[in-house]
Structure 1
Protein backbone atom coordinates (compact mmCIF):
# COMPACT_ATOMS: atom_id res chain seq x y z
CA UNK A 1 0.00 0.00 0.00
CA UNK A 2 1.42 3.40 -1.01
CA UNK A 3 1.49 6.19 1.53
CA UNK A 4 2.70 8.99 -0.73
CA UNK A 5 1.96 10.44 -4.14
CA UNK A 6 2.32 8.30 -7.24
CA UNK A 7 5.86 8.07 -8.58
CA UNK A 8 4.62 7.52 -12.14
CA UNK A 9 1.29 8.25 -13.82
CA UNK A 10 0.29 6.27 -16.90
CA UNK A 11 -2.54 7.88 -18.83
CA UNK A 12 -4.24 6.80 -22.02
CA UNK A 13 -4.90 9.30 -24.78
CA UNK A 14 -6.52 7.81 -27.86
CA UNK A 15 -4.27 4.89 -28.84
CA UNK A 16 -1.26 6.27 -26.95
CA UNK A 17 -0.01 5.76 -23.42
CA UNK A 18 1.67 8.67 -21.65
CA UNK A 19 3.87 7.77 -18.69
CA UNK A 20 4.92 10.76 -16.60
CA UNK A 21 7.74 10.09 -14.17
CA UNK A 22 7.27 12.43 -11.20
CA UNK A 23 10.43 11.70 -9.23
CA UNK A 24 13.64 9.69 -9.42
CA UNK A 25 12.95 5.95 -9.49
CA UNK A 26 15.07 3.24 -7.97
CA UNK A 27 15.82 0.07 -9.94
CA UNK A 28 12.78 -1.86 -8.69
CA UNK A 29 10.49 1.07 -9.52
CA UNK A 30 11.98 1.25 -13.04
CA UNK A 31 11.23 -2.46 -13.47
CA UNK A 32 7.67 -1.89 -12.23
CA UNK A 33 7.27 0.97 -14.76
CA UNK A 34 8.54 -1.33 -17.54
CA UNK A 35 6.16 -4.13 -16.60
CA UNK A 36 3.15 -1.81 -16.20
CA UNK A 37 3.73 -0.10 -19.54
CA UNK A 38 4.23 -3.32 -21.48
CA UNK A 39 1.12 -4.84 -19.91
CA UNK A 40 -0.98 -1.75 -20.68
CA UNK A 41 0.19 -1.67 -24.30
CA UNK A 42 -1.50 -5.03 -24.76
CA UNK A 43 -4.54 -4.21 -22.65
CA UNK A 44 -5.33 -1.00 -24.54
CA UNK A 45 -3.84 -2.08 -27.89
CA UNK A 46 -1.73 1.06 -27.80
CA UNK A 47 0.43 1.89 -30.79
CA UNK A 48 2.40 4.75 -29.25
CA UNK A 49 4.08 5.40 -25.90
CA UNK A 50 5.43 8.66 -24.53
CA UNK A 51 7.68 8.57 -21.48
CA UNK A 52 7.95 12.02 -19.91
CA UNK A 53 11.08 12.39 -17.77
CA UNK A 54 10.93 16.19 -17.36
CA UNK A 55 10.81 15.90 -13.56
CA UNK A 56 14.10 13.99 -13.41
CA UNK A 57 17.27 15.87 -12.58
CA UNK A 58 19.39 12.72 -12.89
CA UNK A 59 19.20 9.55 -14.96
CA UNK A 60 21.62 6.74 -14.15
CA UNK A 61 22.84 4.08 -16.56
CA UNK A 62 20.30 1.51 -15.31
CA UNK A 63 17.48 4.00 -15.85
CA UNK A 64 18.67 4.84 -19.36
CA UNK A 65 19.04 1.14 -20.21
CA UNK A 66 15.59 0.39 -18.81
CA UNK A 67 14.03 3.15 -20.94
CA UNK A 68 15.69 1.62 -24.00
CA UNK A 69 14.41 -1.82 -22.97
CA UNK A 70 10.88 -0.45 -22.55
CA UNK A 71 11.06 1.01 -26.07
CA UNK A 72 12.23 -2.30 -27.54
CA UNK A 73 9.57 -4.29 -25.69
CA UNK A 74 6.93 -1.78 -26.83
CA UNK A 75 8.17 -2.07 -30.42
CA UNK A 76 7.84 -5.84 -30.23
CA UNK A 77 4.26 -5.31 -29.06
CA UNK A 78 3.53 -2.93 -31.95
CA UNK A 79 4.03 0.45 -30.26
CA UNK A 80 6.48 3.24 -31.04
CA UNK A 81 8.09 4.93 -28.02
CA UNK A 82 9.37 8.48 -27.67
CA UNK A 83 11.09 9.92 -24.59
CA UNK A 84 10.33 13.55 -23.84
CA UNK A 85 11.49 16.20 -21.41
CA UNK A 86 15.15 15.31 -20.88
CA UNK A 87 16.53 18.26 -18.92
CA UNK A 88 19.65 20.05 -20.27
CA UNK A 89 21.81 19.01 -17.31
CA UNK A 90 20.67 15.40 -17.64
CA UNK A 91 21.44 15.43 -21.37
CA UNK A 92 24.87 16.92 -20.68
CA UNK A 93 25.65 14.27 -18.05
CA UNK A 94 24.44 11.47 -20.31
CA UNK A 95 26.74 12.62 -23.11
CA UNK A 96 29.70 13.05 -20.75
CA UNK A 97 29.17 9.53 -19.39
CA UNK A 98 28.73 8.00 -22.84
CA UNK A 99 25.12 7.09 -22.15
CA UNK A 100 22.41 7.45 -24.72
CA UNK A 101 18.89 6.38 -25.45
CA UNK A 102 19.98 3.48 -27.71
CA UNK A 103 18.25 4.99 -30.71
CA UNK A 104 14.97 5.67 -28.93
CA UNK A 105 13.47 8.85 -30.39
CA UNK A 106 13.40 11.88 -28.12
CA UNK A 107 11.47 15.13 -28.20
CA UNK A 108 11.66 18.37 -26.27
CA UNK A 109 8.27 18.10 -24.55
CA UNK A 110 4.93 16.31 -24.54
CA UNK A 111 3.52 18.41 -27.37
CA UNK A 112 6.44 17.57 -29.65
CA UNK A 113 6.27 13.93 -28.56
CA UNK A 114 2.62 13.75 -29.59
CA UNK A 115 3.44 15.42 -32.92
CA UNK A 116 6.24 12.89 -33.47
CA UNK A 117 3.90 9.94 -32.87
CA UNK A 118 1.07 11.48 -34.93
CA UNK A 119 3.44 11.80 -37.91
CA UNK A 120 4.66 8.19 -37.68
CA UNK A 121 1.93 6.03 -36.20
CA UNK A 122 -1.07 4.93 -38.24
CA UNK A 123 -4.28 5.86 -36.47
CA UNK A 124 -6.70 3.15 -35.50
CA UNK A 125 -9.93 3.21 -33.54
CA UNK A 126 -9.64 3.63 -29.79
CA UNK A 127 -10.55 0.48 -27.88
CA UNK A 128 -10.93 -0.19 -24.22
CA UNK A 129 -9.54 -3.20 -22.37
CA UNK A 130 -12.55 -5.31 -23.37
CA UNK A 131 -12.73 -4.12 -26.95
CA UNK A 132 -15.29 -1.38 -26.25
Structure 2
Protein backbone atom coordinates (compact mmCIF):
# COMPACT_ATOMS: atom_id res chain seq x y z
CA UNK A 1 0.00 0.00 0.00
CA UNK A 2 1.36 3.40 -1.00
CA UNK A 3 1.44 5.95 1.83
CA UNK A 4 0.50 9.56 1.22
CA UNK A 5 3.51 11.78 2.03
CA UNK A 6 3.23 14.41 4.76
CA UNK A 7 5.69 17.30 4.43
CA UNK A 8 6.57 19.78 7.18
CA UNK A 9 6.87 23.42 6.11
CA UNK A 10 7.58 25.62 9.12
CA UNK A 11 4.86 24.76 11.62
CA UNK A 12 2.45 23.52 8.94
CA UNK A 13 2.05 19.99 7.61
CA UNK A 14 1.32 19.70 3.91
CA UNK A 15 -0.52 16.66 2.60
CA UNK A 16 -0.59 16.57 -1.19
CA UNK A 17 -2.78 13.74 -2.37
CA UNK A 18 -1.52 12.64 -5.79
CA UNK A 19 -3.04 9.15 -5.90
CA UNK A 20 -6.56 7.80 -6.23
CA UNK A 21 -8.02 7.64 -2.77
CA UNK A 22 -9.20 4.33 -1.46
CA UNK A 23 -10.70 3.65 1.93
CA UNK A 24 -7.53 2.04 3.31
CA UNK A 25 -5.28 4.87 2.08
CA UNK A 26 -7.48 7.49 3.76
CA UNK A 27 -7.49 5.52 7.02
CA UNK A 28 -3.68 5.23 6.84
CA UNK A 29 -3.45 8.98 6.18
CA UNK A 30 -5.57 9.68 9.26
CA UNK A 31 -3.22 7.61 11.45
CA UNK A 32 -0.03 9.01 9.88
CA UNK A 33 -1.26 12.57 10.22
CA UNK A 34 -2.20 12.17 13.88
CA UNK A 35 1.27 10.77 14.60
CA UNK A 36 2.99 13.55 12.64
CA UNK A 37 1.00 16.36 14.32
CA UNK A 38 1.75 14.88 17.72
CA UNK A 39 5.46 14.46 16.95
CA UNK A 40 6.00 17.90 15.40
CA UNK A 41 3.52 20.09 17.29
CA UNK A 42 2.35 21.53 13.98
CA UNK A 43 -0.17 24.36 14.25
CA UNK A 44 -1.81 23.72 10.88
CA UNK A 45 -2.50 21.15 8.21
CA UNK A 46 -3.08 21.83 4.52
CA UNK A 47 -4.60 18.99 2.52
CA UNK A 48 -4.17 19.55 -1.22
CA UNK A 49 -6.78 17.55 -3.12
CA UNK A 50 -6.28 19.19 -6.52
CA UNK A 51 -5.38 15.81 -8.07
CA UNK A 52 -8.42 14.07 -6.57
CA UNK A 53 -11.04 13.47 -9.23
CA UNK A 54 -13.57 11.31 -7.39
CA UNK A 55 -14.77 11.11 -3.79
CA UNK A 56 -17.36 8.94 -2.16
CA UNK A 57 -19.26 9.43 1.07
CA UNK A 58 -16.63 7.59 3.14
CA UNK A 59 -13.75 9.71 1.87
CA UNK A 60 -15.79 12.91 2.29
CA UNK A 61 -16.53 12.02 5.92
CA UNK A 62 -12.87 11.16 6.50
CA UNK A 63 -11.80 14.71 5.55
CA UNK A 64 -14.09 16.02 8.28
CA UNK A 65 -12.74 13.39 10.69
CA UNK A 66 -9.14 14.35 9.88
CA UNK A 67 -9.95 18.00 10.62
CA UNK A 68 -11.56 17.06 13.95
CA UNK A 69 -8.56 14.93 14.83
CA UNK A 70 -6.21 17.80 13.97
CA UNK A 71 -8.17 20.14 16.25
CA UNK A 72 -7.66 17.69 19.12
CA UNK A 73 -3.93 18.28 18.62
CA UNK A 74 -4.48 22.07 18.46
CA UNK A 75 -3.93 22.29 14.69
CA UNK A 76 -6.23 23.91 12.14
CA UNK A 77 -6.99 22.23 8.82
CA UNK A 78 -7.53 23.76 5.38
CA UNK A 79 -8.48 21.69 2.33
CA UNK A 80 -7.26 23.27 -0.89
CA UNK A 81 -7.66 22.68 -4.61
CA UNK A 82 -11.09 21.06 -4.61
CA UNK A 83 -12.27 20.44 -8.16
CA UNK A 84 -15.79 21.53 -9.09
CA UNK A 85 -16.84 17.91 -9.75
CA UNK A 86 -15.68 16.91 -6.26
CA UNK A 87 -17.56 19.82 -4.67
CA UNK A 88 -20.71 18.91 -6.60
CA UNK A 89 -20.41 15.27 -5.54
CA UNK A 90 -20.06 16.23 -1.87
CA UNK A 91 -23.16 18.42 -2.11
CA UNK A 92 -25.13 15.75 -3.95
CA UNK A 93 -24.18 13.21 -1.27
CA UNK A 94 -25.40 15.66 1.37
CA UNK A 95 -21.97 15.78 2.99
CA UNK A 96 -20.50 18.74 4.75
CA UNK A 97 -16.90 19.04 5.81
CA UNK A 98 -17.90 20.30 9.24
CA UNK A 99 -15.61 23.07 10.39
CA UNK A 100 -13.03 22.34 7.69
CA UNK A 101 -11.92 25.50 5.99
CA UNK A 102 -11.40 25.40 2.25
CA UNK A 103 -9.37 27.51 -0.16
CA UNK A 104 -9.00 27.54 -3.92
CA UNK A 105 -5.24 27.01 -3.88
CA UNK A 106 -2.26 26.25 -1.67
CA UNK A 107 -1.14 29.87 -1.39
CA UNK A 108 -4.54 30.99 -0.08
CA UNK A 109 -4.68 28.00 2.26
CA UNK A 110 -1.33 28.95 3.79
CA UNK A 111 -2.56 32.54 4.23
CA UNK A 112 -5.65 31.30 6.06
CA UNK A 113 -3.53 29.20 8.42
CA UNK A 114 -1.19 32.13 9.01
CA UNK A 115 -4.17 34.28 9.98
CA UNK A 116 -5.57 31.61 12.30
CA UNK A 117 -2.19 31.14 13.99
CA UNK A 118 -1.82 34.91 14.41
CA UNK A 119 -5.27 35.13 15.99
CA UNK A 120 -4.45 32.34 18.41
CA UNK A 121 -1.20 34.02 19.43
CA UNK A 122 -2.61 37.55 19.37
CA UNK A 123 0.12 38.64 16.98
CA UNK A 124 -0.32 40.58 13.73
CA UNK A 125 -0.98 38.60 10.56
CA UNK A 126 0.57 39.28 7.18
CA UNK A 127 -1.04 42.70 6.88
CA UNK A 128 -0.41 43.84 10.46
CA UNK A 129 -3.88 43.02 11.77
CA UNK A 130 -4.25 40.06 14.16
CA UNK A 131 -5.80 37.11 12.41
CA UNK A 132 -6.06 38.67 8.96
CA UNK A 133 -3.90 37.47 6.15
CA UNK A 134 -3.03 39.51 3.09
CA UNK A 135 -5.28 38.91 0.07
Q: Which residue, 16, 24, 27 being the options, matches 1:31?
A: 27
Greater RCO, 1 or 2 (C-alpha within 8 Å, sep 6+): 1
Give matches, 1:1-132, under 5 Å. 8-122=4-118
Map Cα deviations across residues 67-126 of structure 1 (whole Å, 9 max, x no partner). 1111001101110001111101111121122122122110001001000001111488xx
After superposition, the CA RMSD in angstroms is 1.6
Q: Report the TM-score when normalising by structure 1.
A: 0.85
Map Cα deviations across residues 45-65 of structure 1 (whole Å, 9 max, x no partner). 101000111001111111111
Take 1:100 and 1:57, find their aligned partners in 2: how far apart are those partners? Answer: 18
Structure 2, unaligned stretches of length 5 or more? 122-135
Deviating 4+ runs (over 3 angstroms):
none
For the 8 Å contact 1:16–1:47, the answer to whether it is kept is: yes
Q: Report the TM-score when normalising by structure 2.
A: 0.83
Take 2:90 and 2:28, find their aligned partners in 1: how far apart are those partners? Answer: 23
Take 1:95 and 1:76, find their aligned partners in 2: how far apart are those partners? Answer: 26
Structure 1, unaligned stretches of length 5 or more? 125-132
